Amino acid sequence: VSECIFCKIVAGELPSSKVYEDDTLLAFMDINPINEGHTLVIPKEHFVEMADMDEQTGMLLFQATLRLQRAIRDSGVPCEAINLFLADGEAAGQEVPHVHMHIFPRFKGDAFRVHYDWVSKQWPGREQLDATAAGIRNALEVQPGGATA
100 is catalytic: yes
Nearer Cβ to Zn ion (4/77): 4
Q: What does 4 bind: ligand AMP, Zn ion, none (CB cut-off 5 to 8 Å by kind)?
A: Zn ion
* From 98, 100, 102, 115, active-site residue: 100
Check if the beta carbon of residue 42 is closer than 8 Å to that of residue 25. Answer: yes
14 belongs to the binding site for ligand AMP (CB under 6 A): yes
Per CB under 6 A, contacts with ligand AMP among 72-91 are 87
Nearer Cβ to ligand AMP (17/128): 17
Q: What does 14 bind: ligand AMP, Zn ion, none (CB cut-off 5 to 8 Å by kind)?
A: ligand AMP
60 belongs to the binding site for ligand AMP (CB under 6 A): no
31 belongs to the binding site for ligand AMP (CB under 6 A): yes
Nearer Cβ to Zn ion (45/110): 45
